[in-house]
Amino acid sequence: MGAGPGRRLKAASFLVIPFLLLTACPLVAQAPAASQAQQIADLQQKVTAAQSNADNGWMLMCSALVLMMTGPGLALFYGGLVRKKNVLSTMLQSFSMMGVVSVLWAIIAFSLAFAPGSHFIGGLQHAFLHNVGAAPDADYAGTIPLQTFMIYQLMFAIITPALITGAFAERIKFSAMMVFLSAWSLIVYAPMAHMVWGKNGLLNAALGGRFPCLDFAGGTVVHVTSGVSALVCAIYLGKRVGYPKEPMPPHSVVLSVIGACMLWVGWFGFNAGSALSAGSLATSAFVATHFGAAAAAVAWSATEWVLHGKPSALGAISGAVAGLVAITPAAGFVSPISAILIGLIAGVFCYFMVAKVKAKLGYDDSLDAFGVHGAGGTLGAILTGVFASKAINPILKDAQGNALNLGVVDGNWSQLGYQLVGVVIAWVLAAIGTIILLKVIDLTIGLRVSSDDEVDGLDLTQHGEEGYYWEASAR
Amino acid sequence: MTKLEAVIQPSKLDAVKDALLEIGIDGMTVIEVRGHGRQKGHTEFYRGREYSVDLLPKVKLEIVMQDEMVDAAVDAIVKAAQTGKIGDGKIFKSKIDDVIRIRNEERGPNAI
């Protein structure tokens, strides 16, 4: 996000010059100068259209990839981690975001996030997708229809609340969850997206923010907000019945492995797509994403191997996801080797957050939404301030157009401060918004299912179905 | 008639089946079960949390036979399933009152 256009003019001139030589020369003799100018104008239009089509094709592809991260990616990843009796409810919690957030997005949320407005939230100019059509918005992405930008951003708005569901899995009422996450996407997600990516947003590095926080693909907007809200949910709702005395191991790490692999693949759409064009910046983000995930999978596995004697499948995939989270704000700003360093740090750090810190503090974040997304997102946002380099992405320029230093590796320590501002705002907004919403829902419809229902499982009590139906039980 | 219930290591199922077939026993019911005797369980780690699993996967065979087959059958099972380590399992022997074939209501030894 917030990335400038690529360097496609050079490539375009390769196409234009030979074409001009072939077609224009014979015409010089006969045709008047006006039609020559007309031909050049036509060609320029065609070149622009070709570039626009290429970028648009890539962005539609990326939109589909990011949707795949929620369903089936996250649904499988989380679904495998719960007990058998809650597999469907957990998968549905993610899937239902694909429905309800999409509708809200069209009605108002896209406008609140991306229409011109204050430093903190957008206006209502794009409510009901008013004026969201084929024409690009040059402030966001000059080569793709605003409608493409809108649908791409929607996929982020879907997965972000879905990530939170890992914290209250196996015990929340379905109705309470729907109300909570719908409201959450309006009062936490939309303002945060506006502040970081929206025009005139407080933290927008590219579009005149007061605190230029570098967040390429949503480290603060997606992972810090969802992770911190997850922590608040886990603490507010309390532990699952029987936790931590009763064993609650994942019912199928197989499903989780499949889901994690889909997350990894989908994440290319998430991060590389955030270049908002199909140029070399997308490649840079793609490469950084991959190396970040790979390094973190290695780091988590190695840590586990040393401390427990065995590297586990769940450890390896958790590490990969932690790496993907941490590289999200940095992708598009960092070199491949910096991405590996970020991944290695994230793998070890998130392992300790999940395996040690959670147990010490005693909260029941069922599927480690905070340990992976909150902790990894915070770490990634800060490390972006360390490793971001103008050699990778000259996004900030002075009045003369010279690229300004980005992170500590460029010698710019003040960026770390801006990153911290972004992180603190995300933490505060997510925590306060979540507490208010939980309190209101708690007092009205109630948050948790009864403990009897919890013991029977949410699949049966909330949805009247089972993930693994035993045929012999039918009458 | 006698029923043998043999709880064995899952990995020994094929060997036991073959050994029983060799002495002419070709009918049995096999159930996946979990349990433990003197064998202690193992521990599993999920994201740093340790779970001790004390009910271990075993396979249980239920075979009903004429009394004169019992010694040979016990012998065959023991030979095929034995590794000498804790956890090899057990065989339970009990008398059976009657056997009824559902298809034609045949009774007694002929129904086995």
Q: What is the pLDDT of residues A279-332, one digit of tens each?
A: 999 999 999 999 999 999 999 999 999 999 999 999 999 999 999 999 999 999
- Cβ neighbours of residue A64 closer than 8 Å, sequence gap 6 or more: A269
pTM of the predicted model, to two decimals? 0.88
Q: Over 50: is that where the pLDDT of A425 sits?
A: yes
Q: Supply A130's token pair.
A: 């008013």
Confidence of residue B62 (pLDDT cuts 50, 70, 90): very high
Q: Over 80: is that where the pLDDT of A189 sits?
A: yes
- Burial class of residue B19 in the structure, from the number of CB atoms within 10 Å of its CB (0-12 exposed, 13-18 middle, 19+ buried): buried
Coil vs helix vs strand at A325: helix
Q: Which one of A78, A308, A317, A353 makes the best mutation probe of the B interface by having the most chain B beta carbons within 10 Å?
A: A308
**Listed residue (A266, A392, A421, A422) closest to A3, CA to CA:** A392
Q: Can you tell me the distance from the alpha carbon of B87 to that of B58, in angstroms, rounded to the nearest whole number?
A: 9
- Burial class of residue A464 in the structure, from the number of CB atoms within 10 Å of its CB (0-12 exposed, 13-18 middle, 19+ buried): exposed
Asked if B8 and B89 count as a contact pair (C-beta separation under 8 A), the reply is: yes
Phi/psi for B103 (5° steps) reads -55, -50
Give the chain B residue nearest A301 (alpha carbons).
Answer: B47
Phi/psi for A200 (5° steps) reads 70, 15
Q: Supply A364's token pair.
A: 């029941």
**What is the number of residues in chain B?**
112
**Listed residue (A226, A253, A211) closest to A420, CA to CA:** A211
Confidence of residue B106 (pLDDT cuts 50, 70, 90): very high
Q: Which one of B44, B47, B49 makes the best mutation probe of the A interface by having the most chain A beta carbons within 10 Å?
A: B47
Residues of A with CB under 8 A from a CB of B: 244, 247, 249-250, 304, 307-308, 310, 312, 314-315, 318, 351, 354-356, 359, 368
Residues of A in contact with B46 (CB under 8 A): 249-250, 312, 314
Q: Can you tell me the distance from the alpha carbon of B28 to that of A40, in angstroms, rounded to the nearest whole number?
A: 86
Residues of A in contact with B48 (CB under 8 A): 304, 307-308, 351, 354-356, 359
* Candidates A244, A247, A368; nearest CB to B47: A368
Question: Does B54 reach chain A within 8 Å, measured CB to CB?
Answer: no
The reply to whether residue B47 touches residue A310, judged by beta carbons under 8 angstroms, is: no
Q: pLDDT tens digit string along A375-410?
A: 999 999 999 999 999 999 998 888 888 999 999 999
ipTM above 0.90, yes or no: no
Lowest mean pLDDT among A268-272, A417-421, A456-460, B39-43: B39-43
First to last CA, chain B: 9
Residue percentage of chain A with pLDDT more than 90: 86
Q: Can you tell me the distance from the alpha carbon of B7 to that of B90, in angstroms, rounded to the nearest whole number?
A: 5
First to last CA, chain A: 55
Angle at B20 between CA B18 and CA B24, to 5 degrees: 110
Q: Can you tell me the distance from the alpha carbon of A415 to that of A405, in angstroms, rounded to the nearest whole number?
A: 9
Q: Give me the half-sphere count of Cα atoms (radius 13 Å) on the Cβ side of residue A148.
A: 26
- Burial class of residue A452 in the structure, from the number of CB atoms within 10 Å of its CB (0-12 exposed, 13-18 middle, 19+ buried): exposed
Quote the mean pLDDT of chain A. 92
Confidence of residue A7 (pLDDT cuts 50, 70, 90): very low
Q: Find residue B91's DSSP bridge partners.
A: B6
The reply to whether residue A318 touches residue B47, judged by beta carbons under 8 angstroms, is: yes
Asked if A273 and A63 count as a contact pair (C-beta separation under 8 A), the reply is: yes
pLDDT at B58: 94
pLDDT at B42: 85
**Listed residue (A289, A410, A385) closest to A339, CA to CA:** A289
Q: Over 70: is that where the pLDDT of A182 sits?
A: yes
* Candidates A308, A359, A368; nearest CB to B45: A308
Angle of helix A146-168 relative to helix A190-197, nearest 10 degrees, comes to 130
Coil vs helix vs strand at B90: strand
What would you report as the CA-atom Rg of chain A, rounded to the nearest whole angstrom?
A: 24
Q: Between A and B, how many residue pairs show a Cβ–Cβ distance under 8 A?
A: 29
> How many other CB atoms sit within 10 Å of the CB of residue A412?
18
pLDDT at A1: 46
Coil vs helix vs strand at A192: helix
Buried b / exposed e along A288-317 (16+ C-beta atoms within 10 A): bbbbbbbbbbbbbbbbbeeeeeebbebbbb
Angle at A454 between CA A458 and CA A164, to 5 degrees: 65
Q: Over 80: is that where the pLDDT of A28 sits?
A: no
The reply to whether residue B48 touches residue A312, judged by beta carbons under 8 angstroms, is: no
Asked if A368 and A318 count as a contact pair (C-beta separation under 8 A), the reply is: yes
User: How is A349-391 classified by DSSP, letter by letter?
Assistant: HHHHIIIIIHHHH----TT-HIIIIIHHHHHHHHHHHHH--TT
Q: pLDDT tens digit string along A121-133?
A: 999 999 999 999 9
Confidence of residue A348 (pLDDT cuts 50, 70, 90): very high
The reply to whether residue B51 touches residue A354, judged by beta carbons under 8 angstroms, is: no
pLDDT at B51: 85
Compute the nearest-CA separation of A102 from chain B (Å). 33
pLDDT at A3: 45
pLDDT at A278: 96
CA torsion, ordered A268, A256, A192, A277, to nearest 10 deg? 10
